[in-house]
Amino acid sequence: MAPAVGVTRIVAADDAGIAAAAAALARGEVVGLPTETVYGLAADAKNDDALRRVFSVKGRPVDHPLIVHVADASWLDTLAEEVPPACRALVEHAWPGPLTVIVRANDSVSRVATGGRDTVAVRMPAHDAALAVIARLGRPVAAPSANRFGGVSPTTARHVADDLVSDVALVVDGGACAIGVESTIVDCTLARPEILRPGAVTDDDVRRILAPRGTKIGDGTTGEPRAPGMLARHYAPAARLVLHESAATLPPDGAPVLDCTGDLVESARMLYARLREHDAAGHAVLHVLLPPARGLGHALRDRLRKAAAP
C-alpha cells in the first residue's frame, strides 16, 4: 500500500517502511503502528525515556499502565515471573489476536511501562506489519492507542497523523483496522481470572477456553482501574453522546443518530471512524442506538458508555 499522497510521515507497510519503523524505535523514537484492533503509539518497551515520551505525547497519567506487544508467544515467558495455566490456555487459543493478559512482571520489565505496578499487560497482535516491526526491533514494544488520552481511538494511519501531527517519527500504514475496538483484557494474576475490559475475544470465548480446566472467571470491569480503558470517561468524541436502548426514545431534535444495532462486527469496525466523522461535521449532539448486550455487543456498549460519560 502506498503512503498517503503528500504525507511523508506515513510510510507503507512494506520492507522499507517496516525497516524505517524498527530503526526509529531503536533510536528511542515513537511511531504509529497498525494492529487489528486500533493503531498503537509504539515505543521500545526496554527504553524508559521512549516510554516517558509515549505518556507525554498522549497526555496520559503516568500511573496508567501500557500494554506491551510481543512478536511471538514465547516472549511472554521473558516478561512474566510465571505464566499461570489459565493464562497459558488463553494465549494458546487466542494469540495472535485481540487478547491482552495481565501477569506478574519479572525484574526485566520497565516499571515505567507498568505504571509503577508489579504486573504487566501483554499482547501478541494479529497484524503482519506490527509483528514484522516488533520482530525486526527484536524487543517488545509498548503501544497504547495512538491518540490524545481519553479521545477517540484511531483506526487508520490518517487518524494517527491528524491526532498526533509531528509528535511521532512516522506512521506505518497497515490499512483500516479489521476489528476496530481495543483488545479484551484478562487479569490472570488471580485464582479466578477477571475480564477487565471486554473486546472481540468475548466473555463467552474466555469461558469456553477455560472450561476444560474447570476455571471460572470474574468480572473486574468496575472498581479501581487496573488496566487501560477502565476510567469512567474514555474514547470520547467532541460531540455529546446520548445513548438509547430503543429507537422509541429518540427525540425529534434533528440530531444525527448512530445505529449500532445491526451487524456487530461492522459496527465495531466502523465505530471510531463514525464518531470522528460526526465530530468533523461539527455535530454537538449524537444519539446512539446501543447494540444488544451479547458477544461483541458488550465491548461496543462499554466503549459507548465511557464515551458518553460526563
Local confidence band at 222 (pLDDT 50, 70, 90 cut-offs):
low
**Looking at 219, 253, 268, which one is the last position of a domain?**
219
Over residues 294-308, the mean pLDDT reads: 97
Over residues 82-88, the mean pLDDT reads: 96
Does residue 67 fall inside a structural domain?
yes
Does residue 145 fall inside a structural domain?
yes
Look at 215 and 32; give whichever has higher pLDDT: 32
Does residue 226 fall inside a structural domain?
no
Please check whether residues 215 and 272 belong to one and the same domain.
no
Range of the domain at 266: 240-308
Whole-angstrom CA distances from 124 to 143, 160, 174 are: 11, 21, 16
pLDDT at 8: 45
**Mean pLDDT across the chain, nearest whole number?**
93
Please check whether residues 277 and 162 belong to one and the same domain.
no
pLDDT at 266: 98
pLDDT 10s digits, 115-128: 999 999 999 999 99
Local confidence band at 7 (pLDDT 50, 70, 90 cut-offs):
very low
pLDDT at 219: 73
Does residue 224 fall inside a structural domain?
no
Sort strands 285-289 and 240-244 into parallel, antiparallel or unpaired. Answer: parallel
Please check whether residues 49 and 155 belong to one and the same domain.
yes
Whether the per-residue pLDDT at 48 is higher than 60: the answer is yes
Please check whether residues 184 and 246 belong to one and the same domain.
no
- Residue 192: CB atoms within 10 Å: 12
pLDDT at 5: 38
pLDDT at 225: 67
Please check whether residues 264 and 208 belong to one and the same domain.
no
Please check whether residues 103 and 70 belong to one and the same domain.
yes
Task: State the SS3 of the chain.
Answer: CCCCCCCCCEEECCHHHHHHHHHHHHCCCCEEECCCCCCEEEEECCCHHHHHHHHHHHCCCCCCCCEEECCCHHHHHHHECCCCHHHHHHHHHHCCCCEEEEEEECCCCCCCCCCCCCEEEEECCCCHHHHHHHHHHCCCEECCECCCCCECCCCCHHHHHHHHCCCCCCEEECCCCCCCCCCEEEECCCCCCEEEECCCCCHHHHHHHHHHHCCCCEECCCCCCCCCCCCCCCCECCCEEEEECCHHHCCCCCCCEEECCCCHHHHHHHHHHHHHHHHHCCCCEEEEECCCCCCCHHHHHHHHHHHHCC
Does residue 1 fall inside a structural domain?
no
pLDDT at 231: 74
* Residue 91 φ/ψ, nearest 5 degrees: -65, -45
Please check whether residues 214 and 113 belong to one and the same domain.
yes
Q: What percent of the chain has pLDDT over 70?
A: 95
Please check whether residues 122 and 249 belong to one and the same domain.
no
Over residues 222-247, the mean pLDDT reads: 84
**Looking at 167, 186, 219, which one is the last position of a domain?**
219
Q: What percent of the chain has pLDDT over 90?
A: 88
Please check whether residues 91 and 147 belong to one and the same domain.
yes
Local confidence band at 232 (pLDDT 50, 70, 90 cut-offs):
confident
Local confidence band at 6 (pLDDT 50, 70, 90 cut-offs):
very low
pLDDT at 215: 74
d(CA 111, CA 142): 12
Over residues 174-192, the mean pLDDT reads: 96
Does residue 300 fall inside a structural domain?
yes
* Residue 38 φ/ψ, nearest 5 degrees: -140, 170
Residue 175 belongs to a domain with what CATH number?
3.90.870.10
**Looking at 188, 219, 250, which one is the last position of a domain?**
219
What's the domain count of the chain? 2
Cell numbers standing for residue 83 = 505464566
Local confidence band at 218 (pLDDT 50, 70, 90 cut-offs):
confident
Whether the per-residue pLDDT at 255 is higher than 80: the answer is yes
